[in-house]
Chain A
Amino acid sequence: NNDVRSEQEVVDVGADEILVQVRVLIGSLNSIFKRLFDWQLSGPDYKSTKGMSSPSTQFVTSRRMGVYEPLHQIGMWEDPFKGLTSQHGIAATTIVEVDGLDKPDYTSNESVGPSKNDQEASIPNEKVQRRLAQNREAARKSRLRKKAYVQQLETSRLKLTQLEQELQRARQQGLFIGSSALDSSHMGSSASLNSDLAGITAFEMKYGHWVEEQHKQNGELRNALQVHITDIELRILVDHGLKHYHDLFNMKADAAKADVFYLMSGMWRTSAERFFLWIGGFRPSELLNVLMPQLEPLTDQQLLDVCNLRLSSQQAEDALTQGMDKLQQSLAQSVATDSGNYGSQMAAAMEKLEALEGFVNQADHLRQQTLQQMSRILTTRQAARGLLALGEYFHRLRALSSLWAARPCEPA
């Protein structure tokens, strides 16, 4: 059974996963550097843009790369230099006015636009000069920003390489990742961030497999309900399906330890599913509403039991929601008032945040209990139909999300 592993094996696997992630990050940084330096060779001056359409520049797909470079610089480097963005924006607008200039021999003289090419002679020289000056200024600022960005990347790359070395050492010494062996003493340290990253990456992978397996099980249930199989065989499928949800909740518990905010954000789910998000997952009472019509006919006793279940799950949800509201209030209060002691104020706020994991666990526990109670109330055949209905519901939500993402954009 996969659950039974030696401690060392778990550490090794964890360390391996982290090392992989670190190396992938270093690799990405290296390719970013390469692209940046290729870009630099071609230069941001407007004399020649031949190098711009080369495949090495993957930031832009537009053929008008040469003209639009400064724009993309804004996009890339907005964060480190927020103050410059607005100024740059003005210059950018100037550049945006340039239209349809795919010519590789674009020179700054043509910055006034294609429609005005014919009338070049009639344009007052000052306007052209002003535009040129603005473009030069924009280019200068963009070079500065690029320099700062590159410096940032360099530092990150160094840090990552150091981290890689530390991890190798720690792994050899058989130490746990995220222990005192690595520097996890302050908030946001790269060590704990990377172990969280590894945990979340592992979760995303496992969840991807979970969804595939879910799809497979749905197919099996569908077939089984169409042909006439025995209740015993159907029971096996139902238990299999329930266990599959149980596995999901176990996965989520591990992910909550790594990054509870990630779990609560629902980013691991599709957009339509996220719309229904309640404390990191579906609402049990909503689920019952989805299932009920699919399960008829129910006996009177079953109807009563299901109604009671719906009521008790609603009450439990309300209780947890109120607990979460109190947590929000309490956290807001502790962050809002300036106690004058930043350190202890933050420490108190951190303690409050730790309660979040508990709520996510209780919410998943509630989901688990609701599913189990349903399986107790229903006959095997009804439970099979219920699981299938549930699986198809989520499948359709995911499909809806894809359709929504791919919908044609309205013309501007």
Chain B
Amino acid sequence: MAWGGYCAMQARRNVEERSTTDPIERVARLASESAVVIFSISTCCMCHAVKRLFCGMGVNPTVHELDQDPRGGKDIERALMRLLGNSSAVPVVFIGGKLIGAMDRVMASHINGTLVPLLKEAGALWL
């Protein structure tokens, strides 16, 4: 009886995960999976710049190339555009699961000294 209950619970969870097609929820889930998450498009040069910024600081971000996601990449792109109200959806940066924003917010936060503490708090930087 306990096993049956367990299997049912597992089955239900699987269904729940599969049914999360809402792009915003997908974004939130993906964002919480790593310390630093970047939503990007492989041909976007500003995305390249933000990736280089983090690599230059010794941070290893998790990058999701939306143009290489056949399942819901386009949906996520549209959702990000709505979320941030920008003319371009990418790049968008999450640190410790929290939304930092597009390139200008990332740069502003680095210049005013708040980026490094955030990275340390999320465990992306140790020095």
Contact A362 B104 (CB under 8 A): yes
**Residues of B within 8 A of A (CB-CB), count:** 21
Contact (Cβ within 8 A) B112 A369: yes
Which one of A316, A326, A359 lies within 8 Å of B110 (CB-CB)?
Answer: A316
| Closest Cβ–Cβ distance, residue A315 to chain B (whole Å) | 5
Q: Which of B81-115 contact A (CB under 8 A)?
A: 88, 103-104, 107-108, 110-113, 115
The interface residues of chain B lying within 8 Å CB-to-CB of A373 are 111-113
Choose one: A305, A315, A355, A365; the contact of B57 (CB below 8 Å). A315
Query: With A and B bound together, what is the CA distance between A337 and B57 in angstroms?
Result: 35
Chain B binding surface SS class: helix
Contact with A along B34-53 (1 / 0, CB 8 A): 00000000011110111011
B113 touches A362 (CB 8 A): no
| Residues of chain B contacted by A370 (CB below 8 angstroms) | 111
- The interface residues of chain B lying within 8 Å CB-to-CB of A322 are 48-49, 52
Q: Contact flags (1/0) for B62-81 with A, using CB distance below 8 Å?
A: 00000000000000000000
Closest CB in chain A relative to B89 CB, distance in Å: 13
With A362-B103, A362-B104 as known contacts, state yes or no: A319 contacts B111, CB within 8 Å. no
16 contacts between A and B (CB under 8 A): A312-B115, A315-B53, A318-B56, A322-B52, A323-B52, A324-B45, A327-B45, A330-B45, A358-B88, A359-B46, A359-B49, A361-B104, A365-B107, A366-B107, A370-B111, A373-B112
Question: Which A residues lie at the B interface, using CB under 8 A?
Answer: 305, 308-309, 312-313, 315-316, 318-320, 322-324, 326-327, 330, 355, 358-359, 361-362, 365-366, 369-370, 372-373, 376
Other contacts beyond A326-B45, A327-B45, A362-B104: 16, CB < 8 A = A315-B53, A316-B53, A316-B110, A319-B49, A319-B52, A320-B49, A322-B49, A322-B52, A323-B49, A326-B49, A355-B44, A355-B45, A358-B88, A365-B108, A366-B111, A369-B112
7 shortest interchain CB distances as A-B pairs: A323-B49, A319-B53, A369-B111, A327-B45, A322-B52, A326-B48, A326-B45
